């Protein structure tokens, strides 16, 4: 996500910056360009041939990514560049290795209709979470679409959907805790056991004085509350530039993106986050966030500074051992933070990666992340028909990647 005047562009795009302990090239793990797609398509293939790409694929970049327990991939195509895509949340057929990304709208095309009832239809999803424990998908709807100055009433929401049937399990309204003009509801992390979700509001649409904040969502109560409103630890850092492939993103009209990627420790007792136009990673105990009587001063006092990251980044995820993986858009790869040793290192990188966005873990443990060149798409620097949306894979046990 990026900000140009009032254009949001930085799509969730993104999350961190700073100076880091970089591993040597010899120590880095091998990255594999796992899938490479020529645009996207919601058409079914015919006669064994690749489907035709969606005509406006250049405005439908694949950003979010998560896998269910069987390895089925779900992706988001946020309607930030264009509102024309037939769906903003879809299943992705990763078996196909040629042609456009083969998508099927989830829960349905009608359930993704921009013109549908704002309270119930998915309009613009960037962040979402596949809940393997409960068999749900938590979809975070930013509410607005490209060309709208504000989200319609009721459009900002979390829809909890059943993975098998697609039915809505629960709808949780966010209008009372997010601003319809200024909020940029970026990413969501879910405590599957307690059924509590945490949402990052990057506030990019209100830049340069971003309306940043954290939103805590209680499934059982069906309620949400906002904390750390405009707190400096979530805010854009002055004088920080966002850099990709050695160049500032949008020089003269810089990307101003606050808190972006968020993730929970395996026991869900710690929430991590990073700031795209910033330099550091931070954490806070979730107990203080879940305590409804905690005020912002008490929550702020519990924040831990984990140190500089080493580059601007986007999404983050934790593995079963509690290690944190951060997509580094400055160095075209993955940074790992180990809470046991409190060390940050560049784990893997490749010049072929174009804006690493969302990392996710396959059921077997490998890390896969989207590479979408979002900074170029938001700048209008990608020609229609030349877009490539890629998935890169990183074997976390250090072995050589295998055919799949």
pLDDT in tens, 243-283: 999 989 888 888 899 999 999 999 999 999 999 999 899 99
Residue 301 carries which DSSP code?
A: H
In this prediction, residues 15-21 reach a mean pLDDT of: 36
Nearest C-alpha neighbor of 197 from the set 209, 182, 178, 214: 214
Task: State the virtual CA torsion across 81, 83, 84, 90 in degrees, nearest 10.
Answer: 90
Calpha distance 301→154 (Å, rounded): 33
Which CA distances in Å does 91 have to 257, 271, 320, 326, 330? 28, 27, 24, 24, 29
Q: What is the DSSP string of 144-158?
A: --TT-SSPPTT-SEE
Tell me what pLDDT residue 182 has.
96
What sections of 117-183 are H helices per DSSP?
none
Question: 102: left (phi > 0), else alpha (psi -120 to 50), else beta?
Answer: beta
CB 154 within 8 A of CB 141: no
Domains of the chain: 25-45+53-386 (2.120.10.30)
Kindly report the length of the chain. Answer: 404
pLDDT of residue 33: 95
pLDDT value of residue 326: 97
Which of 274, 271, 107, 94 has the alpha carbon at shortest distance from 202? 274
Q: How many angstroms separate the Cα of 28 from the Cα of each of 31, 309, 330, 397?
A: 9, 16, 16, 12
Distance CA 65, CA 367 (A): 11
Please write the tens of the pLDDT for every residue from 140-183. Answer: 999 999 999 999 999 999 999 999 999 999 999 999 999 999 99
The whole-number average pLDDT for the span 381-398 is 88
Q: Tell whether the model's pLDDT for residue 20 goes beyond 60.
A: no
DSSP 338-395: ETTTTEEEEEEE-TT--SEEEEEE-TTS-EEEEE--HHHHHTT-S-TT---EEEEEE-
Q: Are 88 and 40 in contact (CB under 8 A)?
A: no
Query: pLDDT tens digits, residue range 301-344?
Result: 999 999 999 999 899 999 999 999 999 999 999 999 999 999 99
pTM value surpassing 0.85 = yes
Once rounded to an integer, what is the mean pLDDT over residues 387-392?
95
Whether cis (ω within 30° of 0) applies to the bond prior to 107 is yes
Grade residue 9 by pLDDT with cuts at 50, 70 and 90.
Answer: very low
Q: For residue 2, what are the contacts with CB-CB under 8 A and spacing of at least 6?
A: 8, 9, 10, 11, 13, 14, 204, 242, 249, 250, 255, 257, 374, 375, 378
Nearest 5°: the CA angle 96, 131, 118 is: 85
Average pLDDT for the chain: 90
What does the DSSP assignment read for 284-295? EEHHHHH-TT--
Distance CA 64, CA 261 (A): 11
Are 285 and 270 contacting, i.e. CB atoms less than 8 angstroms apart? yes
């Amino acid at each position: 996500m990026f900000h140009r005047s009032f254009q949001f562009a930085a799509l969730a795009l993104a999350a961190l910056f700073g100076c880091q302990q970089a591993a040597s090239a010899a120590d880095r793990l091998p990255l594999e360009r796992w899938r490479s797609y020529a645009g996207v398509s919601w058409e079914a293939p015919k006669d064994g041939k690749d489907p035709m790409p969606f005509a406006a694929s250049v405005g439908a970049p694949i950003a979010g990514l998560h896998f269910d327990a069987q390895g089925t991939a779900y992706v988001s195509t946020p309607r930030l560049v264009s509102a024309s895509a037939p769906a903003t949340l879809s299943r992705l057929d990763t078996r196909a290795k040629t042609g456009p990304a083969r998508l099927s709208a989830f829960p349905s095309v009608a359930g993704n209709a921009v013109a549908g009832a704002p309270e119930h239809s998915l309009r613009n999803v960037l962040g979402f979470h596949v809940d393997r424990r409960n068999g749900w998908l938590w979809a975070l709807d930013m509410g607005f679409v490209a060309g709208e100055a504000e989200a319609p009433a009721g459009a900002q929401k979390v829809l909890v959907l059943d993975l098998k049937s697609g039915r809505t399990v629960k709808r949780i309204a966010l209008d009372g805790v997010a601003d319809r003009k200024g909020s940029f509801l970026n990413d969501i992390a879910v405590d599957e056991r307690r059924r509590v979700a945490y949402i990052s509001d990057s506030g990019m649409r209100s830049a340069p004085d971003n309306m940043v904040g954290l939103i805590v969502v209680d499934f059982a109560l069906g309620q949400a509350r906002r904390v750390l409103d405009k707190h400096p630890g979530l805010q854009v850092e002055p004088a920080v530039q966002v850099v990709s492939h050695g160049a500032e993103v949008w020089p003269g009209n810089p990307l101003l993106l606050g808190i972006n990627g968020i993730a929970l420790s395996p026991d869900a007792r710690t929430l991590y986050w990073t700031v795209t136009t910033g330099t550091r990673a931070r954490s806070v105990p979730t107990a203080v966030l879940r305590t409804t009587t905690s005020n912002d001063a008490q929550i702020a006092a519990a924040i831990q500074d984990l140190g500089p990251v080493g580059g601007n980044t986007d999404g983050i995820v934790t593995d079963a051992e509690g290690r944190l993986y951060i997509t580094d858009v400055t160095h075209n790869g993955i940074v790992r933070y180990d809470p046991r040793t409190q060390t940050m290192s560049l784990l893997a990188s490749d010049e072929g990666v174009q804006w690493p966005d969302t990392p996710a873990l396959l059921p077997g443990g490998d890390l896969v992340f989207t590479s979408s060149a979002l900074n170029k798409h938001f700048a209008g620097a990608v020609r229609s028909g030349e877009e490539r949306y890629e998935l890169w894979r990183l074997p976390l046990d250090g072995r050589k990647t295998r055919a799949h």
